[in-house]
Amino acid sequence: MIEYANWPDRIKNRFIELQFQSELIVGSVQLAIISLLFGIIILAPIGYSPDAPIHSAILGLTLFTILVFVRLWFAYTLQLNRIILGIFVVAEMALLLLIIWTYYIEFESSPMINLKNSHLNYIFVLIALRALRFEPIWVILSGATAVIGWSLIVWQALYSAGKQAITWDYVTYASSNSIYLGAAFDIILTIALITMVIALVLKRAQSTLHQAVSQTFKAEDLSHFFDTAVVEKITRTETVLAAGQGEMRNAVIMFIDLRGFSKLSEKLSSKALISLLGEYQRLLVPIINQNQGSIDKFMGDGILASFGAVIPSATYAADALNAVDDILKGVDQWQLERREKGDVILDVGMGLAIGEVLFGMIGNENRLEYTVIGETVNVAAKLEKHNKAEKVRALATYAVLEQAKEQGYKSSKEKEIRYKRTVMGIDVKQDLVVLA
């Protein structure tokens, strides 16, 4: 039995959902097997008298179909608790054994022929199907029912035939109606061993399944705090994560700032500020992601994004400028909507630079952070601030535009280039492109 008590509610609920899905799979497989067997019965020649007292296979499969549908109804209506499920597990195995037991009546022979019934193999199928719930208890219950049921079938055969029908000669057993106790014991032992092995496998698999579900939730949680590509890198890395690990990449770095936010923050409540930031970030983040960009961090009303740093790309510069175009369109529409509602109109400022950056981990063993480092990052940050001096909304180094055009970037209008501009904090004069 899976111990849910100490598990967080969301993991517990996920397991309950998986168990529900497993029960549907078990039922579907059982119905598929029943359909197959019905087809075989219809197509195969009849091997018993039409006037036989009972038609075991047809009756048994019909009853089994009803049993499966009733169990699925309990599952769909969320009434399949552990007691009811246990009753169904015992009932389905008991029904299969009943079908096997009635064969001697159908073929109007002695109970000893039941011991050679090939339908015995379906016992193992039923036991194995119960493993889909990842709970050993149902495998054990199914197997125990099979052991008891088969033992009763053997006992009835012995009781009806008497001791004189027992033989220890396998050839005699195979070619006559005698009972070979070794074969009967082998079947009981095999059922018990398979039951125990599957139960042990499930017991070991439970911790793995628990860990897998937990890791899935952790990855989902991480995705709320880190860029999706960074989460993938963290959760799929084959090496131990440690500060100082990193890779050099050619990338475009983008700094975005929400213009007018600082002054507005003096007037708005904290709740209103958070709501405004959320509105702004919900607009920009999907646009950046859709253009293959990665969010490095949020800095209040600022956003640091990279293109080509987390995941190498052959179109990173073109992706960055496409993102700028889409952001500007989105912000223009956002401003229109705010104007219609009578809200304060805000704008953005963007700075982009291209070059080699180090993408890696910083921090210590207790607190790690993936980030981009390098002069390119500093240049992008300074260009974002330099927008005010140039009286524009978005600036990029000329190298960004050159690289973007080589990668297939096309703009609807010509970009203005401003040569030899002095940017505060940068010693070398910069050739800049006005993006907006």
Span of 138-142, 238-242, 343-347 with lowest mean pLDDT = 238-242
Q: Name the residue with higher pLDDT: 389 or 264.
A: 389
- Write the single-letter amino acid at 259: R
Given this model, what pLDDT does residue 209 score? 61
Write down the mean pLDDT value for the chain.
82
Q: How far apart are CA 127 and CA 93, in angstroms?
A: 9
CATH of 235-434, one of 3.30.70.1230, 2.70.70.10, 3.30.710.10, 3.40.50.720: 3.30.70.1230
pTM for the predicted model, two decimal places: 0.53
Residues 243-301 have pLDDT tens digits of 445 678 899 999 999 988 878 877 778 888 888 888 888 999 999 999 999 888 888 88
Q: Residue 59's pLDDT is what?
A: 84
Q: What is the average pLDDT across 144-152?
A: 92
pLDDT band of 211, cuts 50, 70, 90 = low
Mean pLDDT of 57-81: 88
Specify the higher pLDDT residue, 240 or 68.
68
Say which residue, 379 or 55, is predicted with more confidence: 379
Average pLDDT over residues 17-34: 84
Q: Residue 376 region, left (φ>0) first, then alpha (ψ -120 to 50), else beta? A: alpha
pLDDT at 315 (0 to 100): 94
Task: For residues 307-318, give the mean pLDDT.
Answer: 89
CA distance 383 to 332: 21
Residue 180 to residues 4, 156, 176, 306, Cα–Cα distance (Å): 46, 14, 10, 76
Question: Which part of the chain is CATH 3.30.70.1230?
Answer: 235-434
Res. 240 pLDDT band, cuts 50 70 90: very low
Q: CA 202, CA 213: separation in Å to the nearest integer?
A: 16
Integer CA distances (angstroms), 257 to 69, 78, 382, 393, in order: 60, 51, 12, 10
